[in-house]
């Protein structure tokens, strides 16, 4: 094992929630803004509620994956988060680091969106992967065009009637060449241009309406993505 296989990604963000609410979000409510982590075999090496949390997973030959959250209260019921993701990448170091660091910005942004608009609401989480044919240099551009948001900046209104999915109305809350976030009154849609990191385009749906059906959501969006990349 050599040092050049280690990585460390740091980020500092201000979040629209108290340290207690952020702690709840990063420990219990991860399906609401990222993905379920309740089955992770991690160990809490530091657990000082609600200010300092370190979760770590260890494996063979020195492999580890560690997440650190340091929280400070700010005025107005907000919190400052110092986030550190560290560990070992065994293969394709540059590509994995690039992907992980860029995902971090998007996930932390989505955490802020959850805390601002949906904090504490029950969520139905769905993960959908596009076909392998999305793994082309313009794969994510194809999806943005199909959604009608190619070139749309964060803060732009979003209105679309998508084949098989239905009518969506909301706002583009995040947009760059690798990631797209669309928020409606009861749902966050997250789109991942993982074609840039050697994987298919993907998306997650975080539905807070109280009547979400993950199986139907996966079927509808899966069919939409099949048509985009047919």
Sketch out the chain's domains with CATH numbers.
4-118 (3.30.530.20), 124-229 (3.30.530)
Identify which of 55, 35, 32 has the alpha carbon closest to the alpha carbon of residue 183.
32
Q: What is the pTM of this model?
A: 0.95
Query: Is residue 63 a contact partner of residue 88, using CB atoms and an 8 Å limit?
Result: yes
pLDDT digits (tens, 9 = 90+) for 113-149: 999 999 999 999 999 999 999 999 999 999 999 999 9
- pLDDT given for residue 100 in this prediction: 87
- Using a pLDDT cut of 70, give the percent of the chain over it: 96
- pLDDT given for residue 89 in this prediction: 75
The more confidently predicted of residues 140 and 90 is 140
- pLDDT given for residue 2 in this prediction: 46
Average pLDDT, the chain: 94
- Which DSSP helix (H) or strand (E) runs through 139? helix 139-147
pLDDT digits (tens, 9 = 90+) for 30-66: 999 999 999 999 999 999 999 999 999 998 878 899 9
Identify which of 130, 165, 162 has the alpha carbon closest to the alpha carbon of residue 145.
162
How far apart, in whole angstroms, are the C-alpha atoms of residue 147 and residue 160? 7
Each residue of 150-170: b (16+ CB within 10 Å) or e? eebeeeeebeeebeeeeeeeb
């Amino acid at each position: 094992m050599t040092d050049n296989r280690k990585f460390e990604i740091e980020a500092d963000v201000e979040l629209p929630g108290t340290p207690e609410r952020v702690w709840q979000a990063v420990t219990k409510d991860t399906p609401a803004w990222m993905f379920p982590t309740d089955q992770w075999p991690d160990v809490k090496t530091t657990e000082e509620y609600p200010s300092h949390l370190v979760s770590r997973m260890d494996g063979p030959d020195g492999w580890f994956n560690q997440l650190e959250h340091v929280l400070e209260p700010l005025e107005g019921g907000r919190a400052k988060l110092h986030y550190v993701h560290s560990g070992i990448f065994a293969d394709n170091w540059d590509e994995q680091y690039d992907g992980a660091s860029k995902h971090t910005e998007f996930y932390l942004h989505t955490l802020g969106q959850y805390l601002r608009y949906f904090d504490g609401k029950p969520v139905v989480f769905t993960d959908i992967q596009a076909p392998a044919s999305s793994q082309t240099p313009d794969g994510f551009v194809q999806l943005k065009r199909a959604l009608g948001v190619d070139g749309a900046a964060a803060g732009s209104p979003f209105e679309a009637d998508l084949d098989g999915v239905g009518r969506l109305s909301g706002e583009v809350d995040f947009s760059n060449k690798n990631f797209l976030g669309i928020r409606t009154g009861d749902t966050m849609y997250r789109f991942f241009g993982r074609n840039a990191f050697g994987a298919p385009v993907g998306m997650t749906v975080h539905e807070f309406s109280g009547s979400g059906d993950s199986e139907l959501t996966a079927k509808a969006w899966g069919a939409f993505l099949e048509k985009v990349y047919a």
